[in-house]
Structure 1
Amino acid sequence: MATPKNGDTVAIDYEVRKSDGTVVGTTEGQGPQAVQIGEGQIFPQVEQALTSMQVGEQQNVAIDSANAFGERREEMVVDIPRANLPPEPAPEPGMALQAQQQDGSPVTLYIVSVDDQVVKADGNHPLAGEDLTFGITLREIKQAA
């Protein structure tokens, strides 16, 4: 049987779990996800595993935090004076804010806490510092033309 190669598009089902077993991503209820091999659309470790799989095969791929979304960096947690934010919508924990880093590049901040004077926001990816396991199932291979 064939295995995917660079340029092929594959359809996969997946479930992503943190090291504590919490599911943080899945294709369940959405149908398989299309990924083109060699285009960097998914973690390199998952792409590498896919190139050795056959249709119907399932594999678990562990990715440590440094190679997933990086380690948590406490300097990415900042206090923002409420006066610097627009009054509406009212800031709430979990809300995302768009900001610019000192070099001008965009960053998404996630509100952690809110009080009368300060909004604490975290610029780390929500999965920073987390080791992840991808349970992937190869459903289909569409060979490159």
Structure 2
Amino acid sequence: MSEVKGNVIKADSEVLMHFSICLADGSAVDSSKVNNKPSKFVMGDGSLTPGFEKCLLGLKEGESQTFTLAPESAFGLSNPDNIHHIELSKFNADLPAEVGTIISFTQPDGSEIPGIIREVVAESVTVDFNHPLAGQTLTFAVDLLTVLN
């Protein structure tokens, strides 16, 4: 077995990697390999969850690794406080209330937040503002292409 040579991922490394995310049933959620566009980020910049970054620390350039994260280490648990009921009258042909649709909502401070329509009952639309992968145990597969320290 040959030893992997290359830079090791540290707390502030710049990393270029391919990744795939799968649900517990094995179905793929996302992969940078689909369009052959590796993901580039800097450790600690907030683009990855702390649990995911912790798994990457110490890995070497050229290495491939697979790891499974519980919801708490991935995208968190589903928070019932992030589920809201909105009047059906707030929706229209340009913004339809269809179950499964992800819609960007403007918050009072002007920022946008995505919400998934979970249910439409009579005049009430249930919108879930949790991350779409919240509450899921996820398997991540990474191929580290470049690590700059």
**Do Structure 1 and Structure 2 share a fold, with TM-score over 0.5?**
yes
Query: Which category describes the TM-score, using the shorter chain as reference length?
Result: 0.7 to 0.9
2:29 alignment counterpart: 24
Q: Which amino acid aligns with 1:31?
A: K
1:79 alignment counterpart: 85
- Please report the TM-score for the alignment, with normalisation by the length of structure 1: 0.78
2:50 alignment counterpart: 44
RMSD of the alignment, in Å? 2.6
**What runs of 5+ residues in structure 2 fail to find an aligned partner?**
none
Q: 1:110 to 1:59 in 2, by over 3 A?
A: same
- Please report the TM-score for the alignment, with normalisation by the length of structure 2: 0.77
4+ aligned runs moved over 4 Å, structure 1: 104-107
1:9 is aligned to 2:14:
yes
Q: Which amino acid aligns with 2:32?
A: T
1:134 is aligned to 2:140:
yes
Q: Mean alpha-carbon deviation: is it higher for 85-94 or for 60-69?
A: 85-94
Shift of 1:132: 1.1
Decide whether the 8 Å contact of 2:102 with 2:114 is kept in 1: no
Decide whether the 8 Å contact of 2:20 with 2:31 is kept in 1: yes
Matches within 5 A, 1:85-100: 85-89=90-94, 90-93=96-99, 94-98=101-105, 100=107
1:33 alignment counterpart: 39
Secondary structure of the residue that 1:48 maps to in structure 2? helix
Secondary structure of the residue that 2:55 maps to in structure 1? helix
Supply the distance in 2 between the matched residues of 1:5 and 1:16 (Cα, whole angstroms).
22
Q: 1:7 to 1:75 in 2, by over 3 A?
A: closer
Decide whether the 8 Å contact of 2:14 with 2:147 is kept in 1: yes
Q: Which amino acid aligns with 2:13?
A: D
**What runs of 5+ residues in structure 1 fail to find an aligned partner?**
none
Superposed CA offset, 1:19-60 (max 9, x none): 121211110114211121233321223323333222221111
Question: How many residue pairs get matched?
Answer: 141
Matches within 5 A, 1:83-122: 83=89, 85-89=90-94, 90-93=96-99, 94-98=101-105, 100=107, 107-115=113-121, 117-122=123-128
